[in-house]
Amino acid sequence: MSATVSVDCPAKTNLTLHVGAKQAAWAGRHALDTIYCALSVADTVTVSEAPAGSGATLRISGEHLGDLTPDSDIHANHAIRALDALAQASGHPADAAVHITKRIPVAAGLGGGSADAAATLLALNTLWGLHWPMEQLMPIAAGLGADMPFCLVGGYAHGTGFGERIDRIATDSADGINLHRQGFAGRVLIGAYDTSLSTPEVYAEFDRIGNGKDDSCRPRSENDLQYAAIRLHPRSGIAIDVALAAGASHAFVSGSGPSVVAFVPSDQAMDGVRRAWRDGRAVDRIIEANAPAQPRIRVLPSVSDCR
């Protein structure tokens, strides 16, 4: 029977996100300095062997998929792009059946597409018997997108370059302990929306209006994109304000938005934020998670193994 590998890959958020100048060498992408944190809400990517020469197939399931459905060009999907890239790098035929179970909100600043790509690399690395070390997978992930190298490892990490250069932060290191003491660990509420924001659109607005550090009407944010995201999606700003008033230790736009992440230090704060978001209709959906989180790889038994 064919082998199957399943990977649960967490969402990402940016505890800090400082945006620098555009770099011509990076096709106009901005220089970034960010602290990544993985959140336990995860997409599951399951890959199975496929007959030789059959190529790749893709199936996507889950709620709130938006426009994320397979079309005639499945090779535009992040997971299939990752499959193609690993096949090219390894010389392995690009034959596999890929099934994505979506739980991470789409186009929400939570790295769902990057998580799918990272999960695919991790799954195929096992399915195809490559067993490449993380250092060998990282450059492939970096060629696919800024957040993808982080999604391979999860936890905490310091990202530089355009986000692709990753220095992992161990939870028991001085920096990891400091993040924990600052309240960037434990229970998290994610405020998600039925609408989405385009990352290029948010960056274009950032280029136009800046990070809002001179706007006294908004509290200072460690996410330089937050000001632009709120200008484009005002409900995110409302969700931040009511979450902080209800007892969240931190609340901010995740990446380029529009999702809002609220760290809650107690049951009382969690109940307060949840109630405030619902009563004020500040968000459309509330997702409970924990931080930090790591990917989980499972080799699933074949039918013959179960006999």
Alpha carbon distance 6, 97 (integer Å):
12
* Residue among 8, 116, 147, 224 flagged as catalytic: 147
Residue 234 predicted with pLDDT over 70: yes
Q: pLDDT band for position 298 (50/70/90)?
A: very high
> How much is the pLDDT for 26?
81
Residue 242 predicted with pLDDT over 50: yes
> How much is the pLDDT for 25?
82
Q: pLDDT band for position 221 (50/70/90)?
A: confident
CA distances from 1 to 24, 130, 259, 287 (A): 49, 20, 42, 37
Alpha carbon distance 273, 156 (integer Å):
24
* Residue among 12, 43, 102, 224 flagged as catalytic: 12
CA distances from 217 to 179, 214, 225 (A): 27, 9, 16
The question of whether 172 is a catalytic residue gets the answer: no
The question of whether 102 is a catalytic residue gets the answer: no
Alpha carbon distance 89, 106 (integer Å):
28
Report, as an integer, the average pLDDT of 116-123: 98
- The rounded percent of the chain whose pLDDT value lies above 90 is 84
Question: Does the global pTM surpass 0.85?
Answer: yes
Dihedral sign for Cα atoms in the order 89, 92, 98, 103: negative
Report, as an integer, the average pLDDT of 143-162: 95
Q: Measured at the alpha carbon of residue 158, what is the angle toward residues 202 and 148, in degrees to the nearest 5?
A: 60
> How much is the pLDDT for 1?
45
